[in-house]
Amino acid sequence: MSLLEVNNLDVRFALRRGDVKALRDVSFTLDRGERLGIVGESGAGKSVAAFSLLNLIAKPGYIAGGSIRFDGQELNGMSDRALRRIRGNRISMIFQDPMMTLNPVLSIGEQMIECLKAHRRIGRREARAIALRKLEQVHIPSPEARLDQYPHELSGGMRQRVIIAIALLLDPDIIIADEPTTALDVTIQAEIMDLLLELCDKHNVGLILITHDLGVVSQVTQRMLVMYAGRVIEQGPTREIINDPQHPYTQGLMNALPQMATPGSRLNQIPGSMPSLDNLPSGCAFHPRCGFASRPDGSERAECRTRVPEFVASGNCQVACHMVAEMLDQQRIPAEETTR
Amino acid sequence: MFIVFVACAVLAPWLAPMNPYDLAQIDIMASELPPFWIDGSDPAYRMGTDAQGRDLLSTILYGARVSLIIGFGAVALQALLGVVFGLMAGYLGGRIDAFLMRLADIQLSFSTLMVAIVVGALVKAIFGGATFSAYAVPLLVLIIGLAEWPQYARTVRASVLAEKGKEYVDAARTMGLPSQRIMFRHILPNTLSPIFVISTVQVANAIISEAALSFLGLGMPETHPSLGSLIKSGFDYIQSGSWWITLIPGAVLVVLVLVINLLGDWLRDVLNPRLYKG
Amino acid sequence: MTATATLARPAAAAADTSRPLLEIRGLEKRFSLSGDFLEQLKFKGGKLVREQVYVHAINGVDLEIQRGEALCVVGESGCGKSTVARTVMGLLHPTAGEIHYDGQRIDNLSTQALMPYRRRMQMIFQNPYASLNPRMTIQQTLEEPIRLHHPDWDRQQVRDKVDEVMASVGIAADWGKRYGHEFSGGQRQRIAIARALAVDPEFIVADEPISALDVSIQAQVLNLLMDARQERNLTYLFITHDLAVVEHFGTRVAVMYLGRVCEVAPTATLFATPRHPYTQALMSAIPRLEDDRPQHIRLEGEVPTPVHLPSGCVFHARCPHANARCRQEVPELIARDDGSRVACHGVEEGRIQ
C-alpha cells in the first residue's frame, strides 16, 4: 500500500451561477521517498489538487467526492482538529512566494519555535536546538545568527531555504511544494532543486512538486502527472513521458519549448488557449486545440467530441486519449495474430 | 429618495404653495403659526409659518434648493481644483508635488468653518451686508469650495501614484503622448470611482458647512433662506414655544444629508473596481 | 508635429546601414533611496550631514545594436536589464552616458524633438494585465498612437491601419469594441504587440514580453514576434531571464550582472563556448529536459546589493576564479577572435578557458 492514495478526487467551486468543476476524477499515489511532479498550465487545476489534499481549498471550493488515504487514514471528511495534526506535522507545504509564508514581524527563530511548540510538547531551548539543526540541514550559512534575523533581512533564495527548513521541522512524510522556485532566479532555482533532491533522498521524504516548468520536473521527479482543464491526461515515469510523450497536449507542450526547436525557426505552437473551467468543451477538453481530433485520412474522430477518454496503458504510462487508444488497438490486433 | 429631494428642490417654485421671496404674499399677522396637527393652525399653512409669517413648507422647499445648489456648486469647484492639482502633483511629482501637497496640508490645518468665517466676515465688512446678501450663493460656493479641495487632491494623488506605476502609462509615454493627454485621457478615467465616492460625502459636508455658516449668520440672508439659515432664524423662537420653525428644517437637513451619504455607499458598490479585474 | 514627422522620413531613408541603429555608451543610472531633502539630513558625530544613498541600477553599460539584429539582454533579477530598456525608451533619464539612435543622440532631446524617434521605436511590456488601459476599448487603444503620429490621416485611413495591424497579429476584427479585461493574457499581449506595430516602427524594445505567459502561449507570442521581425524587418532589444528563449530568438546576447555587461557574443558562440564565469554558471543552471545534465556550477554567496557595489569586478565575490586583480581592477569588455567580447581578467589572461 502506498503512503498516499488519491482516488477519483472531485473538487468544485460553488459559484452563484452554479458549480464549477475545478478537479475531476483525479487519482494518483505516492510512496515513501518518492518524488512526484504535477505539471500543467495556469488553470489546469494543479494547485487545487495540492490544496485539496489537506482540505485547504478556500471557500467556495469544496471536495465533492473521492477519497484521499494517507497512511491508512481517510483524510476526506476528517474533522478539522484531526486534519490539523497531520497538516504541517506529517504533510507540510512550501509555497511559491516565501514572503507570503513568513510573518514579517517575527524573527525566523521565533516562527520556527512557535511551529514546533504548536505540534509538540517541548521546551523553548529544545525547540531552538531543533530549529538550528534544520537550518543546518538546508545549508544556511551561519544558522545561529539567522535565527534572530527577520525575513526581510534575507535574500529570496535564503528565504526559500528557511521555508524548506520550516517544512522539515516536524520530520514530515510528505512535502507538497507549489511552484517553489518560480519566483527565484535560475542559479538560485538550481540550488533549491538540488537541496530538495538531497533532502528527499536523505530523509526518505515524499515530494509532490507542482510546477509549470517541464525542465524542473524532468530534473527532480521520478513520476509525473500532466493536467489539463481539471483532469489528469497523462501519468507515468517522468523519463518516459519526457522522452516520448503520448498525449497530444503533452507533445504540444514539449514541442512548444524553444529548446526543442532549431534556433530561429518557428516554434510548434498549440493553437488557442486553455478553456475556462465553467465553459468546458464536450468530450475530451483538449479536442478543439488538438491536431489529432481527426484521423490522418481526414475523417473525424467523433468520440473526441462526445466522450471523455479513459486511461489506457501505453508502456508504463497512462494516457487519456482516444487517438492513442485507437493506435494501441491497431497495434495489438496484428500482434495477437502473429502469436497465434 | 435622493431624486425626490432633488425634484422637490428644483420644482420648488411650482410645488410650494407660496413664494417666500415674494414679500407681497407674506402676511406678518400669520407669523408663528404651528403646523397642521397642532391646535391653532391655519390650513393654508400646512407646516405652520415662521416668525415673519412665511409658509414653512414653501420656505423649506426653497431652502433645500439653495442648500443643494451650494452643496453641488461647492463640490464641483472642489473637485475641479482637487482633481487638477491632484493629477499634477501625482503625475508630475518632484517640486510641484511637494509644493501642492504642503499647500494642501496648510489648507487642511485650518478648519473649513474657520476659513469660511474669516473670508465671509471680511467680505461682509468690506463690501457691506447688502452686497454680501446679493452674492451670497456664489460666495458660499467659493468659500466652501476653496476650503475643501485638498480632500480631492489627496485622494486623486494617491490613485494617480498607483496608476502611474502601471505599464499602460509607460506605454502611453513611449508613444510620445503629451503629459496632459496622459493625465486626462489615461489616468483620470481610472481614478474616477474614488472621486465619485468622496463627492457624495463632500456634498453632504458642504451642505452641513453651509448650514453651520448660515446658523452663525455668515451664510444665506434671511430673505433667501437656506435650510441652515431657517434653522438659525427659528432658533430664537424655540424658547417661546414655536419649536417647529427650527426642528422641521432641522429634520429635513438630517434626512437630506443621510440620503446623500447612502447614495455614496451605493455608488461605492456600483463602481467597485473589482468589476474591472479580468 | 507634422513638420517634424516629415523631416524624419528622409533621414530614415538615407540611413547609413553600416552605422549601428542604437548605440549605448557608458550608460549609468542610479536611483536615490534617501527620499526628499529633509529625510536626507542626518546627525553624524554631532553634525548635521546631508546623506544620500543610491541604488546603482546600471553602471557603465556599452552596447550597440545593428539593423536587423535581435539583441537579447539576459541576467538575473536586479541586474539592471529592465533599466537599460526603460532608459533607451526615454522612460528614465540616464545619470550618465549617451544613447544614440541612428547616429543622433536622443537621451537629451526635448519631448518635441523626440517625437519622430517615438514613432520609430516602440516598446512591449512584461505584464499584459497592466499594459492596456482598462477604460479604453481595443479600438481606442490601437487608434491612439496612429492618430498621434499621423495627425493628417482621416478617420478611414486610421481605421484601415487598425484593421491591418489587428489582422497581422491574429486578432479578430470584432474585438475592437471590447475592453482589455475581457481577454486572456496571451490575447492581451497580442493587442499590446499590435499597438506597438501600429505606427510601423523599425526598432522594438521588448521587456520580458513572454515571462508572464503559459508555455503554450509563450510559443504563440514568440512566433508572432519572429514573424513580425521577418515581415517588417524589425530590430529588437529583447530583455529576458530565460536562456532557452534567448538561444531561440536572439542573434546576439549580452549577459548582465549587477548593472554591468560581462559578456556579449553571437548567440551560437555564447551557447557553444560561454567564456565569462558568470555566463558559465548561468548556463549550467538551466533546467534541461535531457537526462544527462552536467552538474551545475555552484556559485558561492549571494548577489551583492546594488547599493554598495563591490570594488573591482562586480562578480568577484562569487567567482571561483577570482584573484587579487579581480578585487581591485574593473575589467573592460575585450573583443576576442570569435566575435565575442568578455569583461573578465581571467579570460583576458588565459587563466579561464
Using DSSP, state whether C266 is helix, strand or coil.
strand
The residue among B70 and C120 whose pLDDT is bigger is C120
Q: What is the pLDDT of residues A76-103, one digit of tens each?
A: 888 888 888 888 788 988 887 767 778 8
C209 vs A279: CA distance, rounded Å: 28
Q: What is the mean pLDDT of residues C216-231?
A: 90
What is the pLDDT at residue B278? 31
Asked if residue B265 has pLDDT above 80, the reply is no
Kindly report the number of other CB atoms within 10 A of residue B9's CB atom. Answer: 20
Model confidence at C176, pLDDT cuts 50, 70, 90, reads confident
C63 vs A328: CA distance, rounded Å: 56
Under 8 Å CB-to-CB from A268, ≥6 apart: which residues?
A: A252, A255, A256, A260, A261, C219
Tell me which residue in C220, C247, C285 faces A259 most closely, judged by beta carbons: C247
Q: What is the mean pLDDT of residues C293-301?
A: 69
Q: What is the pLDDT of residues C299-326, one digit of tens each?
A: 777 777 777 888 888 888 888 888 888 8
B221 vs B137: CA distance, rounded Å: 10
B74, B80, B85, B90: CA torsion to nearest 10: 120
A176 vs A207: CA distance, rounded Å: 6
- The answer to whether residues C318 and C285 touch, using CB atoms and an 8 Å cutoff, is no
Asked if residue C99 has pLDDT above 90, the reply is yes
Using DSSP, state whether C215 is helix, strand or coil.
helix
Do the chains C and B touch each other, judged by at least 3 C-beta pairs below 8 angstroms? yes
Q: Is the dihedral of CA C96, C99, C103, C109 positive or negative?
A: negative
Using DSSP, state whether C85 is helix, strand or coil.
helix
What is the pLDDT at residue C35? 65
Using DSSP, state whether C196 is helix, strand or coil.
helix
User: Hey, what amino acid is at A167?
Assistant: A
Domains, chain C, ordered by start: 2-250 (3.40.50.300), 268-353 (no CATH)
Chain A contact set for C272 (CB, 8 A): none
How many residues belong to chain B? 278
Model confidence at B13, pLDDT cuts 50, 70, 90, reads low
Q: What is the mean pLDDT of residues C262-291?
A: 88
Q: What is the pLDDT of residues B244-263, one digit of tens each?
A: 767 777 888 888 888 877 87
Mean confidence (pLDDT) of chain C: 84
Asked if residue A122 has pLDDT above 70, the reply is yes
Model confidence at C205, pLDDT cuts 50, 70, 90, reads very high
What is the pLDDT at residue B199? 83
- The answer to whether residues C223 and A266 touch, using CB atoms and an 8 Å cutoff, is yes
For residue C340, what are the CA distances in angstroms to C267, C297, C299?
10, 22, 23
Chain C contact set for B173 (CB, 8 A): 90-91
- Helix (H), strand (E) at residue C126: none
Distance (Å) from the alpha carbon of C19 to chain A's nearest alpha carbon: 24
Most confident of A70-84, A199-213, B5-19: A199-213
- Whole-prediction pTM: 0.80
Distance (Å) from the alpha carbon of B200 to chain C's nearest alpha carbon: 22
> Whose grid coordinates read 569586478?
C313
Task: Using DSSP bridges, classify how beta strands C70-74 and A91-94 pair: parallel, antiparallel or unpaired.
Answer: unpaired
What is the pLDDT at residue B28? 55
What is the pLDDT at residue B5? 63
Task: Kindly report the three-state secondary structure assignment for every residue of chain A.
Answer: CCCEEEEEEEEEEEECCEEEEEEEEEEEEECCCCEEEEECCCCCCHHHHHHHHCCCCCCCEEEEEEEEEECCEECCCCCHHHHHHHECCCEEEECCCHHHHCCCCCCHHHHHHHHHHHHCCCCHHHHHHHHHHHHHHCCCCCHHHHCCCCHHHCCHHHHHHHHHHHHHCCCCCEEEEECCCCCCCHHHHHHHHHHHHHHHHHHCCEEEEEECCHHHHHHHCCEEEEEECCEEEEEEEHHHHHHCCCCHHHHHHHHCCHHHCCCCCCCCCCCCCCCCHHHCCCCCCCHHHCCCCECCCCCECCHHHHCCCCEEEECCEEEECHHHHHHHHHHHHHHHHHHC
CA B253: distance to chain centroid?
A: 12
Distance (Å) from the alpha carbon of B154 to chain C's nearest alpha carbon: 19
User: Hey, what amino acid is at C238?
Assistant: F
Class of domain B63-271: mainly alpha
Q: What is the pLDDT of residues B46-64, one digit of tens each?
A: 566 665 666 677 777 777 7
CB contact under 8 A, C219 and A267: yes
Asked if residue B74 has pLDDT above 70, the reply is yes
Tell me which residue in C216, C241, C267 faces A252 most closely, judged by beta carbons: C216
Asked if residue B9 has pLDDT above 70, the reply is no
What is the pLDDT at residue B273? 46
Q: What are phi and psi of A300, to 5 degrees?
A: -85, 140
**Is the bond leading into A60 cis (omega within 30 degrees of zero)?**
yes
CB contact under 8 A, A257 and C244: yes
* Cell numbers linked to B69: 445648489
Q: What is the pLDDT of residues C232-245, one digit of tens each?
A: 899 999 999 888 88
Spatial CA neighbour of A283 closest among A251, A321, A339: A321
For residue A296, what are the CA distances in angstroms to A9, A260, A300, C93?
35, 24, 9, 58
What is the pLDDT at residue B68? 81
Q: What are phi and psi of A26, to 5 degrees?
A: -95, 125
Radius of gyration of chain B (CA): 22
End-to-end CA distance of chain B: 34
DSSP per position, chain B:
-HHHHHHHHHTHHHHSSS-TT-GGG--GGGTT---TTSTT--TT-TT-B-TT--BHHHHHHHHHHHHHHHHHHHHHHHHHHHHHHHHHHHHH-HHHHHHHHHHHHHHHHS-HHHHHHHHHHHHHHHHHHHHHHHTHHHHHHHHHHHHHHHHHHHHHHHHHHHHHTSHHHHHHHHHT--HHHIIIIIIGGGGHHHHHHHHHHHHHHHHHHHHHHHHTTSSS-TTS--HHHHHHHHHTTTTTT-THHHHHHHHHHHHHHHHHHHHHHHHHHHT-GGGG--
CB contact under 8 A, C248 and A190: no
What is the pLDDT at residue A173? 92
Probe site for chain A from C236, C248, C253 (most A CB atoms < 10 A): C248
Chain C contact set for B168 (CB, 8 A): 130-134
* Cell numbers linked to A230: 481539471
Task: Using DSSP bridges, classify how beta strands C260-266 and C341-342 pair: parallel, antiparallel or unpaired.
Answer: antiparallel
Asked if residue B124 has pLDDT above 70, the reply is yes
Under 8 Å CB-to-CB from A211, ≥6 apart: which residues?
A: A37, A38, A39, A179, A181, A182, A217
- The answer to whether residues C71 and C251 touch, using CB atoms and an 8 Å cutoff, is yes
- The answer to whether residues C187 and A272 touch, using CB atoms and an 8 Å cutoff, is no
What is the pLDDT at residue B277? 35
Q: What is the pLDDT of residues A133-185, one digit of tens each?
A: 999 888 888 888 888 888 888 888 888 889 889 888 888 999 999 888 887 88
A107 vs A153: CA distance, rounded Å: 10
- Helix (H), strand (E) at residue C201: none
Angle at A201 (CA atoms; ends A197, A205), nearest 5 degrees: 95
C82 vs C79: CA distance, rounded Å: 8
Q: In C, what residues contact A, Cβ < 8 A?
A: 76-77, 184, 186-187, 214-220, 222-223, 226-227, 241-245, 247-249, 267-268, 281-282, 284-291, 293, 296, 298-299, 302-303
- The answer to whether residues C81 and C202 touch, using CB atoms and an 8 Å cutoff, is no
Chain B contact set for C129 (CB, 8 A): 278
CB contact under 8 A, B190 and C132: no
What is the pLDDT at residue B274? 45
What is the pLDDT at residue A227? 93
Spatial CA neighbour of C27 closest among C207, C206, C204, C261: C261
Asked if residue A209 has pLDDT above 70, the reply is yes
- Helix (H), strand (E) at residue C116: helix C111-120
* Cell numbers linked to B49: 409659518
